Amino acid sequence: MRPILPNKTEFVPHAPENEHEIFSGMRTYPDNVKVYHPHGTIDATSVFWHNKLHPNALNFAVYVDPKATERAILFQRVYTDIQKLAWKFDDDRMITRDYAPQHPFNQWLSTRGFHLVQTKLIATVDLIGLSLGNPVGPGTLKTFAEISRQDQLYQHILGQSMSQYAGKPAFNPAITISLPDWSALISHRQMSTAPFALIQDGHLAAFSFLYDLDDRSVKLGQMNGVNASALNRLLNQQLKWLQDHDQILAGEFEMANRLEMKIFQSLPFKDVNKYEAYMRLA
């Protein structure tokens, strides 16, 4: 006979529109899920996790059934448990993220000292039939496979990309790790045959990561260039390559980042969703 209450690894509430952080968190960290059933049925669930690159933050997500009664009491109970976890693990900050508009629990967190620290736009664009410019200029394009065989240049790119990542986001800085470990992280699912770097006069002028998501989708990753024109040329060649391979481009664009927003505004992205992060010091 099925139990009256499903256990915590089975319980997945009906997903509200554009609210997936709780669901991915529950699938990834089932042992860190807690359910609340003060009246015999599940009214809320929470999940927490840590990121080894950002070890001082407690990441969490919470779902509260809109039909739950005594929500103010339930909100406080869930938040108290989250705060106790931060103290237990000696975390110095608590962070939650979700699509905007935020659901009632995350809105309520603003009354407990949480504030908006990051806003990203998450969007896709189908490159088929899209008219692309053709910026010209000196230099040679290299694929990731070609660059990774040039050890000195590849180590230089790894160092640049790790330094760039470590400074973002400022509200939750990353620790420094070894270059081999960083290489394993940043090269996972990187497309090896697409244009990756632009070399001008024997020097690295720009690089841009592209990650294979599925048969047709590619995600734009970290970008770096000595100047805007070099990076623009590389990105344009990447888009042309993806277009020739019938690919859909996905991207995350931080609204506070001028370069990322210029790229976002230059292409007709669709299905744009706003993704917000809120933080409070523990």
Per-residue pLDDT 10s for the chain (282 aa) are 333 333 444 444 455 555 578 888 888 899 999 999 888 788 999 999 999 899 999 999 999 988 888 899 999 999 999 999 999 999 999 999 999 989 899 999 999 999 999 999 999 999 888 888 766 677 899 999 999 999 999 999 999 999 988 877 889 988 888 999 999 999 999 999 999 999 999 999 999 999 998 888 999 999 999 988 899 899 999 999 999 887 899 999 999 988 899 999 989 998 899 999 999 999
Residue 15 placed within a domain: no
- Residues 154 and 263 reside in one and the same domain: yes
**pTM of the predicted model as reported, rounded to 2 decimal places:** 0.87
- Residues 98 and 200 reside in one and the same domain: no
Range of the structural domain that residue 143 is part of: 125-280
Beta strands in the chain (DSSP E): 33-36, 44-51, 54-64, 93-99, 115-126, 140-143, 195-200, 203-212, 217-225, 248-254, 270-281
Q: What are the residues whose beta carbons fall under 8 Å from the beta carbon of 155, sequence distance 6 or more?
A: 179
Q: What count of other Cβ atoms lies within 10 Å of the Cβ of residue 98? A: 22
- Residues 138 and 223 reside in one and the same domain: yes
- Report the alpha-carbon distance of residue 215 to residue 35 in Å, rounded: 37
- Residues 211 and 232 reside in one and the same domain: yes
∠ CA 101-28-213, rounded to 5° = 75
Instruction: Please report the pLDDT score of residue 3 as a whole number.
Output: 34
Residue 9 placed within a domain: no
- Residues 89 and 144 reside in one and the same domain: no
- Residues 197 and 270 reside in one and the same domain: yes
Q: What count of other Cβ atoms lies within 10 Å of the Cβ of residue 20? A: 13
- Residues 133 and 272 reside in one and the same domain: yes
Residue 118 placed within a domain: no
Residue 39 placed within a domain: yes
Beta strands in 69-214 (DSSP E): 93-99, 115-126, 140-143, 195-200, 203-212
Structural contact between residues 197 and 141, judged by C-beta atoms closer than 8 angstroms? yes
Q: How many domains does the chain have?
A: 2
Residue 7 placed within a domain: no
Q: What is the CATH number of the domain that holds 198?
A: 3.40.630.30
- Report the alpha-carbon distance of residue 163 to residue 157 in Å, rounded: 10
Instruction: Please report the pLDDT score of residue 139 as a whole number.
Output: 86
Q: Which of 113, 147, 162 is the last residue of a domain?
A: 113
- Residues 143 and 218 reside in one and the same domain: yes
Residue 188 placed within a domain: yes
Instruction: Please report the pLDDT score of residue 11 as a whole number.
Output: 44
Instruction: Please report the pLDDT score of residue 105 as a whole number.
Output: 95
Structural contact between residues 25 and 49, judged by C-beta atoms closer than 8 angstroms? yes
Instruction: For residue 217, give the nearest of 250, 263, 251, 252 by alpha carbon.
Output: 250
Residue 14 placed within a domain: no
Instruction: Please report the pLDDT score of residue 122 as a whole number.
Output: 93
CA atoms within 13 A on the CB side of 180: 0
- Residues 132 and 219 reside in one and the same domain: yes
Q: Is the peptide bond before 30 cis (omega within 30 degrees of 0)?
A: no
